[in-house]
A and B are shown apart, each in its own frame.
Chain A
Amino acid sequence: MNKKKLTVNRLAMGNLKARKKQYTLMIIGIVLAMIFSSGVMFFVFSALSSFNELDKLSFGNQDAVLMNAQYYNFDRAIENDLIDDYSIAHAIGYGYNEETGEESGSLMAWYDEDAYELSYVGLREGRFPEKAGEIAFERDALVRMKLNTQIGEQITLTVKTPKSENYLSETVEKTYTLVGILHDKRSNIESEFSLNVDQFEYPAIMLSPEEKIEKGGKERLVAFIDYAGKNDFNTQWHITQAILSEMEERGLVDNEAVNGTIPPSKIIYSNAGKHFSTQSIQNTEENIRMTTILAVVLTTVLLLASCVGIVNAFNSNLQERRKQIGMLRAVGATKQQIVKVFGREAMIISLCATPLSLLISYFAVKFIIGFMGEGFVFIPEWWVLIVCGLFGIICVMAAALIPLIRASAVSPMQAIRNIDYSRKMKNKRVKSQTKFNAPNLIASRNLMFRKGRQIGVSFILVATIIISGFGFAFIENEAERMNSFYNDFDYAFESSGGTVGSNIFNCKWGVNYSDFSESVKQEILSLPYVKTVGGIKTCMANIVFDGEISDYMRLISMYYGNTYELSYERSNINTYEEYVNQLTKSKNKRYLAFSNEVFGGKDFYSSEIHSFEPSDIEEIEKYVTDGKINIDKLDSGEEIILFAPQKIGYRFEPYENGEGFSGGVIDISDGIKEDDAPYIGETAELSYKAGDVVNISVLSSDITPQEMTDDVIIPDDIKANNKQVKIGAIVSSIPQNSRWVQEMNFLTTNSGMNHFYENHPYLNMYITLKNDCTEEVDGEMTYILNQYTSGNGYRIYSKFQSNQEKRNTIIALYIIIISVVVLFFSTAASIINNSLTAQIRESKREIGTLRAVGASARELTQSYFRQLLSMFGWGCGAGFGLYTFIWILMYFAAKSTDMSFDYKYQIWQAALICIALLAVCFVNLYSKVKKQMKYSIVENIREL
């Protein structure tokens, strides 16, 4: 005889063992529900952390970087509650490669111990310098100096020694061993904030703390600052201002010390006077707020859905559990004993299911993030898993309590019998049908008596359909938006040169700005992978008018030109006539000066000439509205293409509050749109025809953009290249393409450009490869192209990388939405299956009875299938109806508020899901009915 003591654990384990199959299925159900919810949440939060981590690696963990920090009193700033913490990098040199010149170099600094953390300096490979003679470089710093040194190899640099904000006049040659490659920060900060090297010296080279400064030098300090409190962008902005004011008080504002106050939280102040506007800060805050709201909503929905899933999985054998409880009570078990048995059982189940599901979620998310490439780093957010785990345990325990509470409310015998259903039936009144289809009638009565189940299923189906409808529409919209800027080139990169300083004449290039000469183009063309290199040049060009200017030109000038003096008070203007009268009252000072002194008193319009490769120009042949493109004549400078709308209108719309207006020139070549019609003040037709001759004057000066201040009206050395040129063709518009510019401009070939501005450098270059790009080729190409753009703060566009990023983003979106839909799908399927399975189990006797009175297997299946169809019918009807209603509501709401609404009415995925769901449920139902049919009728009928 077994003399082992009967404990609660043994009873619970006995229960579990006796119903191994049932409990395994239940655990699988719970695990699935938890995997999806914890997986999606884990993924979302890990991805957010990943973005955050990449942001920190790119810009640092500090709130601000302060250059020349030796002038700043940090203790006072802490006392004034401006900063919480700071840490210092000690710049003891400025190193550069003699061959690439001084501009390619960088500050070299050793870091205080806590500066590593605050600046978030990260290693791509190798290690940090530990002893004198060791050095680590940001990868970009190596590229700029065109050094191909590997870790462990030696580097010789020319080093200037700082003496606070200046340098000692003598340089020294120093040799170091490269021990580490760091994540790029300097180039990221430069490009993000559009800074140039001379404006902001971030130490891109790291030395060991043992390194000593040259004799006579004085360290220049770079401080990484943590602002007081964890504050929003606005507060940070105000702290930046306060720090600057404090420095101003101490007379440091004009000093270089102010140069680089760079809060990486995207508020920027520098000598260049560039900063993000308040609007931009608000937008960023709004984005963060929206993302947080979205994450919270998503989390809540997922937790609720998984909660329903868990409760449902647990309740699949609810009736049987009630019977068990009733029997235990009948043999004298107290409520406490029953709570213990079932509570322990639930605990054992949740202890099996929770770690398993969390483990699967963890590895699934790790795999997915790994698969998504370099843009994502796997940073596990443990608290998400812990929250999901706790939630799962609570759900299981709560689900276990439900039958207990219900069974406790009735007598043991009532609990053994399905008293709930009988009670419910007792109060029902139905009218007898004299003629009926038995399977259908039984099905409809079942549905009538089990309305709660119907509502539950409908609710989950409605949620699945709506989430799927909007989710997939959102993804499709995103994918379309991302792919709408299709480029036919593999790489593009641009120089920082251009027609800066004035929009009437061209400034001197090449001072602090890089540009791409013909030789750069040929160098790139000689690379083994490269098939073609196309370039674009842009220069300012003025059209000089003989006599009166046309209405068309006047309208264009009113908006684009720099002809008129903007002397009106915007809020006093209420009508278009008032606006025209006020605006055109006087011409501006610079315009009049150029008109009188350069163009002999004639009117002019400042436009641009853009030049392209001949093959690119041929591409626009199909958009020519007048004349014909003749490449030879463009090359020879005899002809030019005019790119201007055929008909324009000035759109003037007064604000409703009577304070001002919005206005601008719009293209109405294809007619005036209904929305614009009430606001069109004036229209004009293009007066030029193909064959007309225009006077073009290209002005240039050696003045640099830095020297171009408000005091300079006409530079002393202004040179004019005046040409009379025939308009060969007119192009009214070109469908959106990143390469073309739309306005009143001229187009020609690169050779043709030489006739207007000789040896003008390229502004942009477009590269196509001989073969499809691979990861290796892309790495090599990016490395090579970086050498041409490094230092000017521009990034290289790589179609390969861009496509990868697009693909990754789309994959991430698909994973999220599919996971959410699958979660709802599984929950819906499990609710339907469980309820029908439970019903079949409960109706075992009824099945036997029906078989005994002559119902065949087909008729029985038909009855259950009818119930299934009805559940789907209601749920899907309500789901698609509600989705359509919301979609229409959103469509009209967007239309009435002039907001864009790009979401397509997308139901095929939802329909497909419903069909799949129906199929799954049908197969399950069929197998369950078939299983019952395998038993003999007597086995069906027999009481427990």
Chain B
Amino acid sequence: MNIIECVDLRKEYLSGENIVNAVDGITVAFEQGEFCAITGPSGSGKSTLLHVLSSLENPTSGDVIYNGKKLSGYNDNQLSVLRRRRFGFVFQAYNLVQELTGYENIVLPVMLDKKKVDEAYINKVIDVLGIGDRLEHLPSALSGGQQQRIAIARALANKPSILFADEPTGNLDGKSGREVLSLLKYVSKEFGITLILVTHDLNVAEQAERIISIEDGKIVRDTKAGV
């Protein structure tokens, strides 16, 4: 069953006087619980595809359909609610709120949703990510790897259906990168979450069940592991 899909998706940018087709008519679907890596060279449009899919950016044309509903019909508030309840994001630059502690960053989506924190679940996430001793620290006191783990925990806090990760290991050293990746894989399996990950690192992409290669805004290859 498709959790999210897009149909003839286009995203154009103005670069000086030229129009750049970052995403050029892509139609693709993702299944529930799938781990998919989107890969391609710099400027191929992989991150833009992720941003449009995850409603961080509006498409120029085409549709994103989540759970059978077109996101083009959502207003800003509805999209905010969708992001805080159904989507989780992990960025390359971690993007933690500097004024909040590790714990506060983790539970931020729950608090924005004015819900009660599921302590058992959050504790489990924290345990899995191994960040129990960093919760009282402000992000500025944490290493890159630790910040990214907090970011993953924040992305998981609301039990999302999809986890979008944009070059999650790009800012980390090899060891930390590998650890973060296996954690992402583990949590997506553990919690049954669809993981859509953008990377230009083939080693990272190879860990996925499905690899979509993009060039010049178009899908040039869509392969499943073992196929």
Where the two chains meet, the residues of A that have a C-beta atom closer than 8 Å to any C-beta of B are 421-422, 425-426, 428, 430-438, 441-442, 445-446, 449, 845-846, 848-859, 933, 936-938, 941, 943
Contact = CB atoms under 8 A, between A and B. Distances in A.
B56 A430 contact: no
Contacts of B76: 856-857, 933
A426 B141 contact: yes
A343 to B, nearest CB: 33
Secondary structure of the A contact surface, majority rule: helix
Nearest to A939: B57
A853 B98 contact: no
A426 B138 CA distance: 7
A432 B103 contact: yes
Contact of B95 (A421, A441, A933, A941): A941
Contacts of B139: 425
A941 B117 contact: no
Contacts of B91: 849, 852, 941
Q: What's the interface size class on B, roughly?
A: 35 or more
Nearest to B85: A854
A430 B85 contact: no
Contacts of A434: 103, 107, 117
Contacts of A937: 51, 56-57
Contact of A442 (B56, B80, B99): B99
A99 to B, nearest CB: 92
B83 A442 contact: no
Nearest to B47: A938
Contact of A851 (B80, B136, B154): B80
B182 interface: no
Interface in B2-59: 51, 56-58
A431 B136 contact: yes
Interface stretch (B108-116, B190-198, B212-220): B108-116
Nearest to B158: A854
B97 A938 contact: no
B59 to A, nearest CB: 11
B80 A449 contact: no
Contacts of A446: 99
Nearest to B139: A425
The 9 closest A-B pairs by CB, nearest first: A854-B84, A445-B99, A425-B140, A849-B95, A432-B103, A937-B56, A856-B80, A432-B101, A936-B57
Given A425-B139, A850-B97, 17 more contacts: A426-B138, A430-B101, A431-B136, A432-B135, A441-B100, A441-B104, A846-B97, A846-B98, A853-B109, A854-B80, A854-B84, A854-B85, A855-B80, A856-B76, A858-B77, A933-B76, A936-B58
A940 to B, nearest CB: 9
Given A425-B140, A936-B58, A442 B101 contact: no
10 contacts: A434-B107, A435-B117, A441-B111, A846-B98, A852-B56, A853-B89, A853-B109, A854-B81, A857-B76, A943-B93
Contact of A422 (B80, B113, B140, B158): B140
A9 to B, nearest CB: 28
A859 B99 contact: no
Contact of B111 (A431, A436, A449): A436
Given A425-B140, A937-B57, A852 B81 contact: no
B64 to A, nearest CB: 14
Contacts of A938: 51, 56-57
Contact of B84 (A433, A846, A853): A853
B186 to A, nearest CB: 22
Nearest to A933: B76
Q: Which of A431, A846, A856 has its CB near the most chain B CB atoms (within 10 A)?
A: A856
B96 interface: yes
Contact of A855 (B58, B95, B100, B112): B112
Contacts of B136: 431-432
A431 B140 CA distance: 15
Contact of B140 (A426, A845, A856): A426
A849 B96 contact: yes
Contacts of B93: 845, 941, 943
A243 B101 CA distance: 86
A428 B101 CA distance: 10
Contacts of B84: 853-855
A845 to B, nearest CB: 6
- A850, A858, A938: residue with the most chain B Cβ atoms closer than 10 Å: A938
A430 B138 contact: yes
Contacts of A854: 80-81, 83-85, 109, 112-113, 158
Contacts of A431: 101, 136
- For B57, B104, B136, the residue with the greatest tally of chain A CB atoms inside 10 Å of its CB is B104
B65 to A, nearest CB: 20
A936 B56 contact: yes
B154 A853 contact: yes
A943 B58 CA distance: 19
Most chain B C-beta atoms within 10 Å of own C-beta, residue among A421, A430, A431, A449:
A430
A572 B98 CA distance: 82
B138 A845 contact: no
B71 to A, nearest CB: 14
Contacts of A936: 51, 56-58
Nearest to B86: A854
A937 B166 CA distance: 14
Nearest to A942: B93
A426 B143 CA distance: 12
Interface in B117-171: 117, 135-136, 138-141, 154, 158
A859 B140 contact: no
Contacts of B99: 425, 442, 445-446, 449
A438 B138 contact: no
**Which of B58, B80, B140 is packed against the most chain A CB atoms within 10 Å?**
B80
A897 to B, nearest CB: 52
Given A852-B89, A856-B77, A941-B91, A442 B100 contact: yes
Most buried by B among A428, A446, A937, A943: A937
B109 A433 contact: no
Nearest to B78: A856
A152 B108 CA distance: 91
A933 B135 CA distance: 30
B82 to A, nearest CB: 8
B56 A436 contact: no
A838 to B, nearest CB: 15
A845 B56 CA distance: 13
A384 to B, nearest CB: 46
A859 B112 contact: yes
Nearest to B164: A852
Contact of B83 (A432, A437, A845, A852): A852
Contacts of B96: 849
Contacts of B112: 438, 850, 853-855, 859
A846 B105 CA distance: 12
A849 B117 contact: no
Contacts of A422: 98, 140
Given A425-B138, A856-B76, A848 B95 contact: yes
Given A441-B104, A445-B100, A853-B83, A428 B109 contact: no
B43 to A, nearest CB: 14
Given A846-B97, A855-B112, A433 B80 contact: no
B15 to A, nearest CB: 14
B140 A436 contact: no
Nearest to B107: A434
Contacts of A857: 76
A921 to B, nearest CB: 21
Contact of A852 (B77, B95, B101): B95
Contacts of B108: 438, 850, 853
Nearest to B88: A853
A421 B108 CA distance: 22
A437 B76 CA distance: 20
A89 to B, nearest CB: 81
A926 B150 CA distance: 31
A34 to B, nearest CB: 36
Nearest to A433: B104
